[in-house]
Chains A and B, each alone.
Chain A
Amino acid sequence: MHKLFILVAQRLALGLLTLFVVSLIIFLGVEMLPGDLAQAILGQAATEETIAAMRERLGLNLPAHIRYLQWLGGIVQGDFGTSLANDREISELIGVRLANTLFLAIVAAAISIPIALTLGILAALYRNSWYDRTVNVVTLSFVSTPEFFVSYILILFLSVKMQAWLPGFHFPSLSNVSWDDTFLERLYAVFLPALTLTLVVIAQMMRMTRAAIINLLASPYIEMANLKGLSRRRIILKHALPNAWAPIITVVVLNLAYLIVGVVIVEVVFVYPGLGRLIVDAVRTRDIPVVQACSLIFAATYILLNLTADVMSIVTNPRLLHPR
């Protein structure tokens, strides 16, 4: 366990380094985009004069490295700064959005992970049966359909048509939640986006579960168990599954990360006030402090989840836990 602790400490230190590099890349990336905040905000209405005035006020005419160092200085002291576009405190701007994003991700994960694992284990158990094929085809159809299209189809049936079928009840096609709502109201509001995300992530997790288990079925120790006459169910659940966790966890965590950082399109379609829309808007307007803050949150999320995955892979595989 001591070694594991050192590993975690090391990885956290590396995580900080990663965050630093990410902030540098994002800063340079936004700098390299054509146009700047002044041009983006003024749009067609820009004149040389007003652009110059705005750059002057926001300090956009300072050299890039100075602006980066100024920003870094603030971050080290825990100050995310203010949005260039409308002067709002970034910590305040992002707080609610982050909470919304996490809420949707947790709801979607709570639905999708148990379903995916169950479907995957069952598919491995009843390999090549009609059940296996059907689950495969259905999940693949959903995963190969663009997210916005899955959303539209769900809206058509569960919102628009539902109104005709069940007068007085339908799922809202907009998820503009507010924190004044009760937990149940929020759950109802995010039902369609969460369902969309579930359909989008389920196939990959389910297929990896199935593949990882089946991959192990060829191992001699499983053959041995098989020869001993153990039941198929017992072999898969007691012998194969414990050793299949590493790849399954990796995929589950990658999908969890996706649910938090990758839901821009679902947020756009359902008008959900999460971080994804914020960062896309901020990239469009070159509002660097906002882009930076969002990127850092996303990057930190990813790093922490990733570390969790690695720790869990090690814990579930004794050979990795005690390397010779």
Chain B
Amino acid sequence: MSTEANQTPDQGDFVSGTWAKRRQDAMRELGKAPWTAKFGLLVIFVYVFVALFAPLISPYKESQVIGPEYLDIGQAFYVEEEGKIEPLFSDEEIAEAREDGKEISHLVLGTDNLGRDMLTRLFYGARNTIGIAFLTTVLAFVLGGLGGMLAAALGGWTDQILSRIVDVLMAIPQLIFALLLLTIFGTSIPILIIIIAVLDSTRVFRLARAVSMNVVVLDFVEAAKLRGEGMGWITMREVLPNIMPPLAAEFGLRFCFVFLLISALSFLGLGIQPPTADWGSMVRDNATLITFGIPTPLIPAGAIALLTIGVNFVVDWFLQKTSGLRDDL
């Protein structure tokens, strides 16, 4: 890296300008965004919409048992009694029911291992899973990112103490530690969020510190120190913008690692508690079906994968913008 580097990459769009101008800028940026970023934003928008309005768009209640278990995608049925459905397996049965004046409908995604509607569970799962994963990841990044930058910028004892605490936390295998803590403190959702966020923040800390270390030895940071700028100013104005790209890249992945940790915990019997629907547990509950070539567990797994891809596409776009790269390089 050359020593002539003495300016921060352009951060104008993010730190200056009035609201109106910013919005205008944002719209213009969006227009110029590559199709992947637009696709990512669309995915995120749809997921957030589903998460917010799950109770309104779901055909049934979150944990309502509507009929037999493992009904197929597109299963025909009529409503038998309040809340229960009667599946119709053959064309003759459907014709018969129609003659009886029954109203025939079809299940979009079938039912799960307890006879609950998969579509409903998927919608509610969006709400719970995204909410929890997002909160956890943000909390982890605030904790880990700030800690890492501080450690790098201040150095000395602060760095030593923070790094040693993180070393200890990271030296204990994450899954085992989570297992231990969740068994001790119980598996309520706030506790789940806090425990996973704290454990995850250690990873963020490591990365933030590593990249910050590269930044704080650069001349413009030295210059700011000589100018007598405060540590907070240096951290927020000089260090943060420069470590944003790798951190952002990490955010996209960390976000989906939270889903994964939760589903791993539910594999071991902890994790989000029923009847709360979450995609990780939905994969777990139906996973054995895949070994017989039945695609049901692919639906929640696909929902997680699609969101991860969407989030990472947007992150990539952000990465590209902040690094000030031209596509034609």
Contacts and interface: CB of A to CB of B under 8 A. Distances in A.
Interface of A: 14, 17-19, 21-22, 25-26, 29-30, 32-34, 127-128, 133, 136-137, 140-141, 143-149, 152-153, 155-156, 160, 203-204, 207-208, 211-212, 214-221, 224, 226, 232, 243, 246-247, 250-251, 254, 261-262, 264-265, 268, 276, 279-280, 283, 295, 298-299, 302-303, 306, 313, 317, 319-320, 323
B34 to A, nearest CB: 7
B284 A319 contact: no
A306 B167 contact: yes
Nearest to B174: A262
B214 A246 contact: yes
Interface string B272-300: 00000000100110011011010001000
Interface string B176-195: 11011101100000000000
A-B pairs, top 9 by smallest CB distance, nearest first, are: A144-B308, A221-B2, A299-B171, A211-B249, A261-B173, A144-B256, A146-B263, A29-B180, A141-B305
Contacts of B313: 136
Given A25-B172, A298-B173, A218 B312 contact: no
A152 B267 CA distance: 13
Contacts of B307: 144
A152 B309 contact: no
Contacts of B283: 146, 149
B164 A34 contact: no
A264 B320 CA distance: 36
Contact of A140 (B250, B312, B320): B312
B176 A156 contact: no
B329 A250 contact: no
A19 B264 CA distance: 26
Given A26-B172, A32-B184, A303 B210 contact: no
A221 B245 contact: no
A264 B1 CA distance: 41
B213 to A, nearest CB: 7
Contacts of B249: 207-208, 211
Contact of A215 (B168, B174, B323): B323
A254 B173 CA distance: 12
B164 A14 contact: yes
B132 interface: no
Nearest to A145: B301
Interface in B256-277: 256, 259-260, 263-264, 267-268
Given A33-B183, A203-B253, A306-B167, A149 B2 contact: no
B26 interface: no
A22 B184 contact: no
B210 A246 contact: yes
Chain A interface main SS type: helix
Given A14-B164, A220-B2, A283-B180, A262 B173 contact: yes
**Residue from the set B171, B184, B284, B324 with the largest chain A CB neighbour count within 10 Å:** B171
A34 to B, nearest CB: 7
A198 to B, nearest CB: 16
Contact of B176 (A32, A224, A247, A283): A283
A146 B291 contact: no
B308 A146 contact: no
A55 B226 CA distance: 65
Contact of B206 (A33, A212, A254): A254
B146 interface: no
Nearest to B289: A152
B305 to A, nearest CB: 5
Given A137-B309, A153-B290, A319-B217, 12 more contacts: A145-B301, A146-B260, A146-B263, A160-B291, A207-B249, A221-B1, A224-B2, A279-B173, A283-B179, A295-B176, A298-B176, A306-B167
A136 to B, nearest CB: 7
Contacts of A204: 253
Contacts of A212: 246
Nearest to B2: A221
Given A143-B253, A144-B309, A203-B253, A156 B217 contact: no
Contacts of B184: 29, 32-34
A280 B245 contact: no
Contact of A18 (B2, B171, B305): B171
